[in-house]
Every structure is written in structure tokens, then in C-alpha cells.
Structure 1
Amino acid sequence: MSIPSPLPDPLVELVAQRFRVLSEPARIKLLDALRAGPASVGELATRADLSQQNASKHLGVLHSAGLLERARTGNTAQYAIADPSVFTLCELVCDALRDRYSALQAVLPPPQAPASR
């Protein structure tokens, strides 16, 4: 499927919205925690080192954006990845960061040891 160029304004807004949703570090932590499979809010809060209230808030945003699906069983909600393309995007970003870091390492001199007195 080809992406039109220039991008139509409605598509630009949808792409920007997706990046806004992913711009919060806590949400990246929660998505990463869900790579292991579906989990409850409490389990995800523990895995992502967040309070349960904070995790719940961010999970709601990810769910509203269509990145997560939620299944309720009594008082417990189980979250799972609804859009696995989010992991492809994360891998692309991580690979680009790794390449950039490697390029910087190649041109920067190694740190100098402090001079002794």
C-alpha cells in the first residue's frame, strides 16, 4: 500500500496523534511490559514500576488510541496488545538510535582519565 505524498491533512493529524500517545515514557514501559502477554493493571504497574493509578490512567489512553484491547472479568481488567505494529515502530526507533550511537562512538575520542595531582 502506498502512502500519498504530500500527506493529506487528516492523515497528518492521525499520525501526529499516534506519536503524541507514544510520547509518554510510562506508556512505552507499559507496552514493553505487554510484550510478555496479556496482564492485569496491577501486574503491569509492577512490571513497569508505576503506581496502579498511574498505570491505569496510561492504559486507558493506550486503549482509547486503539493500541490495546481490554477484557474485564469481574473487577479485574486484562490488557493485551491490539496493534502489534507498535513493536515494529519501536524496533525501528531503537535501531536508528543504535546506529546513531555507533556513528557518534566512531567519531568521538574516548574519555580522558582525570589527571592525578
Structure 2
Amino acid sequence: MSPKVMPGGLPHPDKSTILEYAYGIKEKGVAVAMLPLTPEMIALVAERFKALGEPARLRLLHALREGERTVSELMEDTGLSQANVSKHLQLLHSLGFVTRRKEGLYVRYALADADVFALCDLMCGRLQAETEARRELFAVS
């Protein structure tokens, strides 16, 4: 069986490989020290950030925060078409953001883990701080 290859021909490491490479791992998965990133690792990270740069994918991930969903349920939750939901789920699955399992006639999707929301929460906090700073800057005394 040949190893998975990502777009661009890079090997497709599993999540633990990426974490072990990029960070010194302490007990319970807490990152303690970032190692220098190779061009290959930078490409892997950029690919994942690019995937998160699409609002439709963020909507799907947000809907999956509530638990497993089928494509039909995700269509209802997000208002996206079946083709769009399927296309985005395929990419999210290939990058390890979501898992899928067959249940009868349906495929159920779920978050691989909730770590992605740490990034979202970080960015939302930053946006809130920037908004508050702008309000204070333009506030009339």
C-alpha cells in the first residue's frame, strides 16, 4: 500500500506526525517549544490555513460542532447546495479536519477534533479587540 500524497506531491502525514514535528510535545499534548519549520512543513500549514480561509468550510465546521451530521443535515444547517457541501467535506476530510463513517445509506461526518476552534476563537478574540480599539480611537469625547 503506497503512502497518501497530498496535492503538490507532498507526503500526507497524520496529525500526530505534524504535532511531533512542529512542537516539543509535553504530557497531554501541550506544545512546549516550536522547532524550525521546513519548507515542506510550511506548505502543509499553509494548505490547512487556506482551507480555513473559505467561509463555506467554516460554516460546515461550525455546524459539525454540534455533533455528527449527514450531507442533507449540513445542507439544512448551512444553506449550501449538495454539490458544495460534498466538495467542501471532501477537502476537509482529506486534510484531517473531519471524519466520516457509513451508517446504512448515509455517510455521517464529524469533527476529527475540536482543535480547529482554538484557532477560530483566537481570531474572533483578536477581531473583537481590534473592533474595540477602533471604537475607542474614533469615540467622540
Give SS of 1:39's match.
coil
Q: Is the 8 A contact 1:66 1:83 kept in 2?
A: no
The answer for unaligned runs of 5 or more in structure 2 is 1-23, 25-32
Question: Are residues 1:51 and 2:81 paired?
Answer: yes
Following superposition, the deviation at residue 83 of structure 1 comes to 2.9
Cα distance in 1 between the residues matched to 2:34 and 2:79: 38
Cα distance in 2 between the residues matched to 1:78 and 1:102: 40
Runs of 4+ in structure 1 deviating by more than 4 angstroms, as ranges, are: none
Question: Are residues 1:61 and 2:99 paired?
Answer: no
Cα distance in 1 between the residues matched to 2:130 and 2:51: 24
How many residue pairs were aligned?
109
Equivalent position of 1:32 in the other structure: 62
Question: Are residues 1:16 and 2:46 paired?
Answer: yes
Give SS of 1:83's match.
coil
Q: Which amino acid aligns with 2:69?
A: A
- Of 134, 137, 140, the residue aligned with 1:104 is 134
Cα distance in 2 between the residues matched to 1:49 and 1:105: 33
Following superposition, the deviation at residue 45 of structure 1 comes to 1.2
Give SS of 1:17's match.
helix
Equivalent position of 1:113 in the other structure: none
- Of 100, 104, 114, the residue aligned with 1:84 is 114
TM-score (norm. length: structure 2): 0.73
TM-score (norm. length: structure 1): 0.87
Which protein is bigger by CA-based radius of gyration?
A: 1
- Higher relative contact order (Cα pairs below 8 Å, separated by 6+ residues): 1
Equivalent position of 1:3 in the other structure: 34
The answer for unaligned runs of 5 or more in structure 1 is 111-117
Provide, for residues 33-92 of structure 1, a one-character-per-residue CA deviation record: whole Å limited to 9, x for no partner.
011111101101110111122111111110011000000123211000003210111100
Cα distance in 2 between the residues matched to 1:10 and 1:52: 34
Give SS of 2:34's match.
coil
Equivalent position of 1:41 in the other structure: 71
Following superposition, the deviation at residue 14 of structure 1 comes to 1.0
Following superposition, the deviation at residue 10 of structure 1 comes to 1.5
